Structure 1
Amino acid sequence: MMTKKWSKGERVIHATKPEWGHGEVLEAQSAQQDGKPCQRLVVKFTRAGTKTVSTAFADLRTAEESPFLAAAAREAAEEASRAVTGATNGKVREESGEDMLDTALDAALRDPIEMMTRLPDSVTDPCLSLRKRAQAAVSLYKFGESPAGLLDWAAVQTGLKDPMSKFNRHQLEDFFVRLNIVRDAHLKKLLKDVRKQEPAVINERIATASLAGQQAMRRADIGR
């Protein structure tokens, strides 16, 4: 069932492909899949280019729900649909949503450790079920420590096309180690709660998780 109707100009994140970066809806058409309403969207992603997706299959979220720069994405989403004009030396200057995002990004970079170790709302929001939070937490282990995996993770975490334009490799490696500590501690706490309330969920998540996710769950659950 279609839970949200997307409109042209809205900014989105593909929840299962966050490495695609922020996306802007270019076209939105009503459609049906198996007799149920959905939408066919043309979305331009910052790191993957223009994609055509169906909301019957693609798990799209608002930028505020993404694991990186929620505040920055919110500001960009509010401003992206209109130009902010002003007089500069007698000339009209237009500031785009991307400019606003860059400004907010610069502000966030003043506290890079907090930004790079922040867990997404999908993992921490108490309004979400334990099942959903556990699933989201295990999905964080999809990024490996290889150079490519590190860059993909950093791109998701910062929203930057090229994270190395702001950080060097040693900094990214250090941030990733710090994130692992935060991520592992939170997963352990989640699994402890899950085992008390919905123990069957643990086996479900292990069965569908990546190898790294399975190993992380077993480590966290053993140490409960």
Structure 2
Amino acid sequence: MDGLPPPREALLDPNEQHQPAIDVPNLMRDFLNREETSRRYQAQLELRVSDDSVRLQQERYRCGELEGRIADSQWAKGQVEAQLAQISDISDILQQQIAMERSRCQDLESRITTLSALNNTLVKALAEYEPVIKDPQQKPLNAFHIYLENLGHQETIKELESKLSLHEQTIRSLRSIIETAMRTYPWCSDCDGSDVSTIVPQVQAYDTYLPPELSAGGPSSCVPEETEQKLTE
């Protein structure tokens, strides 16, 4: 008996003798459950990555659209700035033309005043000299000629008043064009691509309001030659 090996229980640690046996089936089930949970989590992550990829593509598309809009806005801004510069030049030209028209109106008013005074002088002369003529040999005063001259001066005055009214209408039209241009192109928030050239023909065509003699020869051609001679006398 002394030559036999000790029993297996005698070789084990006393603490290990009381440990329960490993439950392999439970371990396998736990492993499989964890594996299944891991697969489901992986599938969720893949789905989330796919969704994020779609969102990324959408954001890239939106960024491309925004970049295109920014480029269009920059181009529109350049166009509007050029149009505003052109409108500013047109406004300066119109202001100069308004000043010229105002000067012509003042000249016409002065001529109307002069012709009115001359007309009154002729009427008074006709009234004073006609009863004084007593000498039969004295050459009679040509009252009919003075009357015709008076009528001519009255027609000239009416014509000058009409031309003055046209000049005032021209000034109002030019001011209206300036106000319309400024309202059409404020200092600018938006641009629809319209061309400022639509304003230029109105500016160039303003002279059509003027009588032919004013647009060609200026205000000095408004008074007939006979009236100019009367004024110099």
Provide TM-score, normalisation by structure 1: 0.22
Structure showing the higher strand proportion among its residues: 1
Structure showing the higher helix proportion among its residues: 2
Provide TM-score, normalisation by structure 2: 0.21
Q: Point out which structure has higher relative CO (alpha carbons under 8 A, 6+ apart).
A: 2
